Amino acid sequence: MNDFCAELHSFLNERNYVSPWILATHAQNPILASACSITTIKKKRYLFLQGDENHNVYIVRTGRLRIFYSDLSSMEKCIYIVERGGMVGETSAFDQAPNYVSAYAITDATLFKIHIQDLMRLINLHPSLSLRVIESLNYKVRLLSSQMEYFTKSAPVRVVSTLIALCARYGAVQPDGSVRISIRFTHEEMSNLINLNRVTVSKVFSDLLQNQIITNVGGHIVVPNIDILKTYLDERL
């Protein structure tokens, strides 16, 4: 990790700016992987849907999934993004209840897949595996708790704090010192990520673009000066 990313991670941790919808990645457990099959899913396809029966646990090998909940009005509320090493499906598989969320592929993805009965057998043979499952569940509880506070923030704070988190995770420092976010996000995808409507997100982006706090190069968000972006955020907290 270069000095810029180290400094930015420190900044995020000190001020709790990391978006609670970006799930931290974990190293893959070799014992678990040995008992899994591999399944693939194409971009813009669903791994599973809210309300479906589920008897499998999945661990992301490559790609990214968006985990979201649909309310009674069919509004989608993004809960988190799962990347390499992230576990999904374990909650409904363990309690043998229908899925309470849906999993949607943001990119092409490959996943380790294991039936809940096989996982329970492995846990009996290797009790340390239970710590991995507890870690995943505990992280998600903390994630949901942090969202309660996040919902109280203004739209600019939610958008900009997420941009800073994306810079930390996906930012590539350019020769001129600017930071290019390597993954593309449309306004609609950003609105789903932070649970704001698209019009509101577009207004915040318009303000950021007009003030040259960010630019858009080939569909990628570029931050010319990260300190200016941080100042913009601090002024609105």
The model's pLDDT over 13-57, given as tens digits with 9 standing for 90+, comes to 444 434 444 444 444 556 666 678 889 999 999 999 999 999 999
**Averaged pLDDT score across all residues of the chain:** 81
Is the pLDDT at 136 greater than 80? The verdict is no
Contact between 143 and 79 (Cβ < 8 Å) = yes
Each residue's pLDDT tens digit, 112-134: 899 999 988 888 888 877 887 88
**pTM check: above 0.75:** no
Question: In the prediction, which pLDDT does 176 show?
Answer: 94
Each residue's pLDDT tens digit, 184-220: 777 877 887 787 888 999 999 999 999 999 999 988 9
Q: Give me the sign of the Cα torsion angle 63, 132, 90, 149.
A: negative
Question: In the prediction, which pLDDT does 214 show?
Answer: 97
Q: Round to whole Å and give the CA distance between 79 and 168.
A: 20
Domains present along the chain, CATH in parentheses: 30-150 (2.60.120.10), 153-234 (1.10.10.10)
Question: In the prediction, which pLDDT does 33 show?
Answer: 62
